[in-house]
Amino acid sequence: MNIQEYISSGIVESYVLGLAEDSERTAFEQMCTLHAEVRAARDAFELSLEQQALSAAVAPPVTLRQNILQQLAAETVPESNSITPVVQMRPIRRSPVPMAMRYVAAAAVVLLVASAGLNIYYFNKYRDYSQRYDQLLAQQTELAKNNNAMQTRMGNYEQTIKGLTNPYMAKITMEGKDVPNNGSPDPRSLATVLWDTRSKDVYLMVNNLPMPETGKQYQLWAIVDNQPVDAGMLDMSYGHMMVKMKNIPRAQLFAITLEQRGGSSTPKGPMYVMGKV
């Protein structure tokens, strides 16, 4: 059967008037989507039927209009519980969107969990590295400090050696036993003054002195024409190294006394060592 025969078989009218059987209806709807001629024939018959119905219209009672429109205004939108093919279709048509959204949501949750896991992992790693960094920093600071101390000591030793090997440096040995009247509290005490004969700078090197009690400090004196002249305070922390003292242009003797911390203008404490120039 070709399309024209199909169209003129009465199926169009049968379908439109609701007289077709289910199988015929399904087939006709298929034909409509496939063939524009079938659709056109259906439209034409529908239109003629509608025009006929409109021309044959019978007005219902006037009061009915008000009643019906009022009833419609009072109607509530039906829930999806009305059982009809089309209504049943709608959730199925809609379902791709929620399903897609569900996949997106699931993916989002997975990503969130993964991200949280990575956060914990990287935080731990960060904390570990941070600790290690702090340790390294402390070590580095320690090393730098040690290095500084070493350099200072090295510098001091270099200076001491320079002083000892300087041909213009006069060396005055001060001994405990040289203190008059055996007055030294510790006769084994020994210290050396190095005196630059050109610049007249005085350096002191402690060979053996008892550690002073707290609040006390050794003071170096130059005896010039029987008058003691302050030549500087002694810092024991330098040990046996050469420490620069004051500039003394002229002197006959050098001596060390133990004085109050900060020193005195004239010697008051006991003399530990003395040496002649």
Partner 1 sequence: MGITLTYTEQELVSLLRNRDNKAFAYLYDNYASALYSIILQIVSDAELANDVLQEVFVNIWRRIEQYDMGKGRLFTWMMNIARNASIDTLRSKGYQNSRKNQSIEDNVDTLQVTDVLQPGVDTIGLRKVLEKLKAEQRILIELAYFKGYTHEEIAELEKIPLGTVKTRIRNALIQLRELLK
How far, in Å, CA of 181 to CA of 272, rounded?
Answer: 12
Distance of CA 191 to the CA centre of its chain: 57
* Contact status: 104 vs partner 1 (CB under 8 A): no
Task: Give residues 46-75 in contact with partner 1 (rule: CB under 8 A).
Answer: 46-50, 52-54, 56-61, 64-65, 67-69, 71-73, 75
Span interacting with partner 1, options 42-50, 115-123, 148-156, 240-248, rule CB under 8 A: 42-50
Q: Least Å distance between CB 21 and partner 1? A: 8
* Contact status: 29 vs partner 1 (CB under 8 A): yes
DSSP code of 264?
-
How far, in Å, CA of 52 to CA of 8, rounded?
Answer: 20
Binding mask 179-208 for partner 1 (x = CB under 8 A): ------------------------------
- For partner 1, which is the closer residue by CB, 11 or 222? 11
Size of the site for partner 1 (CB under 8 A): 49
**Does residue 108 sit in helix, strand or coil?**
helix
Q: Least Å distance between CB 26 and partner 1? A: 11
Q: Least Å distance between CB 35 and partner 1? A: 14
What Å distances lie between residue 119 and 64, 105, 122, 123, CA to CA?
71, 20, 5, 6
The number of CA neighbours under 13 Å toward the Cβ of 241 is: 17
- For partner 1, which is the closer residue by CB, 67 or 151? 67
Task: Give residues 80-99 in contact with partner 1 (rule: CB under 8 A).
Answer: 82, 84-87, 90
- For partner 1, which is the closer residue by CB, 47 or 236? 47
What Å distances lie between residue 228 and 89, 148, 219, 257, CA to CA?
120, 37, 11, 11
CA torsion through residues 181, 184, 190, 194, sign: negative
CA torsion through residues 260, 264, 266, 272, sign: positive
Q: Which residues would be at the binding site for partner 1 (CB under 8 A)?
A: 8-14, 16-19, 21, 29, 32-33, 42-43, 45-50, 52-54, 56-61, 64-65, 67-69, 71-73, 75, 77-78, 82, 84-87, 90
